[in-house]
Amino acid sequence: MEKQIVYLFVFDTLADWETGYAIAAINNPADQKHPGRYSVQTLGLTSDPVTTIGGVTILPDVSLDEVDAGAMLILPGGEAWDDGKNTQILETAKAFVQADIPIAAICGATAGLARAGLLDDRPHTSNAAEYLQATGYRGAAHYQNQPAVTADNVITANSTAPVEFAYHILKALDLYDAPVLDAWFGLFKTGDPAYYFMLQQLTAPPER
């Protein structure tokens, strides 16, 4: 099976914590419905290294002009969005949506989608309704005060919801069977060890 690419957009000031759960799950074949189906590639506006808000240096796997059709585009938050940067990636986001390929945006990246008109006509969320209203977008009537929202292949989340963001991403990619995904979410959201044992039971190899 040829691997499908999940693009993770990387840029200076990228918020490290916002995509960690999702990326780790996608890259770990354990318990997946189709292990190895996806491959994560970091995508930069150029091939130059970038530095996250946590001081981690990332060398992009591909630059914007090398992007091919993928399985998903993930857009982390970061200060660059509020500084009016990253506008080039929004054309790629539009192209993915038009091709029925999911995109996922969290925190400041949702403001980027709002400025691009991608949230005018579909349910969505962000850090706060007022945060998006400051962009001048026309989708305020569709705002939902939820940690994460999926609508028409567009996933949005607020900055304090990396686990919910990952849940929606993993569901969109059909990465796990539904009971496994629910147990995964319960474990990382609550820390209740009961979910760990549930995961062990759900993913144990069948007895011979």
Number of independent structural domains in the chain: 2
Same domain, 58 and 43: yes
User: Can you tell me which residue has the tokens 């509020």?
Assistant: 82
Here the CATH number for the domain that contains residue 18 is: 3.40.50.880
The identity of residue 107, as a single letter, is C
Same domain, 59 and 136: yes
pTM of the model: 0.96
Same domain, 122 and 193: no
Residue 98 clears pLDDT 70, i.e. is over it: yes
The Cα 32–Cα 69 span in angstroms is 22
Instruction: Give the residue numbers spanning the domain of 185.
Output: 177-208
Residue 112 clears pLDDT 80, i.e. is over it: yes
CA distances from 158 to 49, 71, 112, 166, 190 (A): 26, 22, 13, 12, 18
Same domain, 156 and 191: no
- Long-range contact list for 56-65, CB < 8 A, 24+ apart? 56/16, 58/10, 58/14, 60/10, 62/7, 64/88, 64/89, 64/92
Q: Single out the catalytic residue among 10, 107, 111, 181.
A: 107
Task: Answer whether 72's CB lies under 8 Å from 169's CB.
Answer: yes
Same domain, 183 and 92: no
Same domain, 172 and 187: no
**Mean pLDDT in the chain?**
95
Over residues 126-130, the mean pLDDT reads: 97
Same domain, 131 and 208: no
Same domain, 139 and 158: yes
pLDDT in tens, 62-82: 999 999 889 999 999 999 999
Over residues 184-202, the mean pLDDT reads: 96
Q: What confidence category does residue 208 fall into, taking pLDDT thresholds of 50, 70 and 90? A: low
Same domain, 55 and 127: yes
Same domain, 195 and 107: no
Over residues 162-184, the mean pLDDT reads: 97
Residue 20 clears pLDDT 70, i.e. is over it: yes
Exposed, middle or buried: residue 95 (CB in 10 Å: 0-12, 13-18, 19+)? middle
Same domain, 87 and 169: yes
Q: Which of 42, 11, 37, 14 is nearest to 26 (CA)?
A: 37
Active site residue 170: no
Termini Cα distance of the chain: 28
Question: How confident is the model at residue 204, as a pLDDT?
Answer: 86
Q: What confidence category does residue 1 fall into, taking pLDDT thresholds of 50, 70 and 90? A: low
Same domain, 110 and 203: no
Question: How confident is the model at residue 12, as a pLDDT?
Answer: 97
